[in-house]
Amino acid sequence: MGGTMSRRRFVGATTASLAGMSVLRTAPAWSKSTSAPKPIPGGLSLTAGAPVPVNPDVHVLPPVVGFEMSTITDFNGTVAAADMQGTATGSDGSSWFFDADMRFMDGEYVGEDGNHHHGTFGFV
């Protein structure tokens, strides 16, 4: 493979790697509760790399106006999102494109136990 990787292939490979490590599972970073939040309906398909309405592989949507920025259903709070793109140079001089999606959420949510909780969440 040459020094060029399509965005779709990079995002798919990165998402698949993260999903394999269970990093994309939303979990409280700071919370008095042990109840996990409910994920948003819909998300991304790892096979197509595009938003899908039903049975997503990952419950996250692109950080674009018009899409849900939170990854938590029944959430009331602050959401911040950043989508950074650029190129990186490898130690062998090769150039690579990257696209990093980072978000954090802080607020009240309805947990999987049906009760209201407060927590702070984030992912890269």
Label each residue of the chain as H, E or C: CCCCCCHHHHHHHHHHHHHHCCCCCCCCCEECCCCCECECCCEECCCCCCEECCCCCECCCCCCCCCCCCCECCEEEEEEEEEEEEEEECCCCCEEEEEEEEEEEEEEEEECCCCEEEEEEEEC
Beta bridge partners of 109: 75, 117
Whether the pTM exceeds 0.75: the reply is no
At residue 7, the pLDDT reads: 62
At residue 78, the pLDDT reads: 93
Domain region containing 77: 7-123
Please check whether residue 1 lies inside any domain of the structure: no
Looking at this protein, which amino acid is placed at residue 51? P
Q: Express each pLDDT in 89-106 by its tens digit.
A: 889 999 988 888 888 899
Please check whether residue 2 lies inside any domain of the structure: no
Alpha-carbon distance of 29 to 32, in angstroms, equals 10
Beta bridge partners of 44: 51, 58
Q: Quick check: 72 pLDDT over 60?
A: yes
The number of domains in the chain is 1
Please check whether residue 101 lies inside any domain of the structure: yes
Please check whether residue 69 lies inside any domain of the structure: yes
* Greater model confidence, 10 or 61: 61
